Amino acid sequence: MSEAVPWAPGELEGLAFAASALAPFFLEDPATGRAASSFAAMAALSVDEAADQWPFAAPDEVRPALARMQEGLAAGTGDEALAREYRRLFVGPQALPAPPWGSVYTDRDSIMFGESTLALRAWMRAHGVARTSDARTPEDHIGLMLALAAYVAEVRPELTNELLRDHVLTWAPHYLGLLEEAAAHPFYQGLARLTGATLQGVQATRGLEIVRPRYYR
């Protein structure tokens, strides 16, 4: 496997920005969670300006995704439809149409805490990277993975290629495609599209060669 190209000036900062900006939308209920400032910032931004400045993805990809996200926030974060869709996609109690954990897709039995989760946990332990969730939450939740990517880009940049190549890009683009198909609300349709375009842009920019596992769903 060839080595990734060197990081260009500003690329690590761009990755940290994008990953930290997107992570809360996967992790927090818009009505009751702790990401009110993130939702407010998304609702208030200039789509055209943000699309021109967004890292790794072309403005023509970013602009419609951001527009969909803003459309979904038009009624505010207290909108029942927005909160209901978050819970349908990420919480339950019904079966999630696109579960946000990597091992659900890469483990033969499509289970949480599968082999890929344990491999990520071992990687974090080997490099002294502390987990930020409780022991009942799999580390390979897409929101936690984005937050981890932001942290590594800022604090442990030498680990960034390995994290992306071996633990994020192996499954996240596949999942995000399924999430976009499953989402029935414009905010989460746009979020899936923007996150997918960003990660695919990171892979292309970095020259990362990804060994795709077999997907079991």
For the segment 131-154, the average pLDDT, to the nearest whole number, is 92
Residue 61 lies in a domain: yes
Q: Whole domain around residue 169: which residue ranges?
A: 11-206
List the one residue out of 197, 190, 214 whose CA is nearest residue 55: 197
Residue 82 lies in a domain: yes
Residue 3 lies in a domain: no
Q: Cβ neighbours of residue 127 under 8 Å, at least 6 residues apart?
A: 156, 159
Q: Packing angle between helix 11-27 and helix 186-206, nearest 10 degrees? A: 150
Helix boundaries (H) for 55-183: 59-72, 80-90, 103-106, 115-126, 142-155, 160-163, 172-182
Q: Give pLDDT tens digits for 29-71.
A: 999 999 999 999 999 999 999 999 999 999 999 999 999 999 9
Q: Cβ neighbours of residue 152 under 8 Å, at least 6 residues apart?
A: 129, 159, 160, 163
As a whole number of angstroms, the distance between CA 130 and CA 125 comes to 7
**The pLDDT of residue 4 is above 70:** no
Confidence of residue 3 (pLDDT cuts 50, 70, 90): low
Residue 6 lies in a domain: no
In Å, how far are 94, 135, 172, 183 from 91, measured between CA atoms?
Answer: 8, 17, 18, 14
Classify residue 106 as exposed, middle or buried by CB count within 10 Å of its CB (0-12, 13-18, 19+). Answer: buried
Residue 2 lies in a domain: no
For the segment 122-146, the average pLDDT, to the nearest whole number, is 91
**The pLDDT of residue 108 is above 70:** yes
Identify which has the larger pLDDT, 5 or 124: 124
* 110 and 217 Cβ atoms separated by less than 8 Å: yes
- The enclosing domain of 188 has a CATH number of 1.10.3480.10
As a whole number of angstroms, the distance between CA 71 and CA 190 comes to 9
**The pLDDT of residue 134 is above 80:** no
* 43 and 187 Cβ atoms separated by less than 8 Å: no
**The pLDDT of residue 1 is above 50:** no
State the average pLDDT for the chain.
Answer: 95
**The pLDDT of residue 135 is above 80:** no
Residue 2 confidence (pLDDT): 45
Residue 73 lies in a domain: yes
Confidence of residue 5 (pLDDT cuts 50, 70, 90): confident
Residue 78 confidence (pLDDT): 86
Q: How many residues does the chain have?
A: 217
- Amino acid code (one letter) for 67: A
Domain count of the fold of the chain: 1
Q: What is the pTM of this model?
A: 0.96
Residue 207 confidence (pLDDT): 93
Residue 140 lies in a domain: yes
Residue 181 lies in a domain: yes
Q: Give pLDDT tens digits for 155-207.
A: 999 999 999 999 999 999 999 999 999 999 999 999 999 999 999 999 999 99
Residue 137 confidence (pLDDT): 86
* 150 and 13 Cβ atoms separated by less than 8 Å: no
- Kindly state the tokens that stand for 23: 């992570």
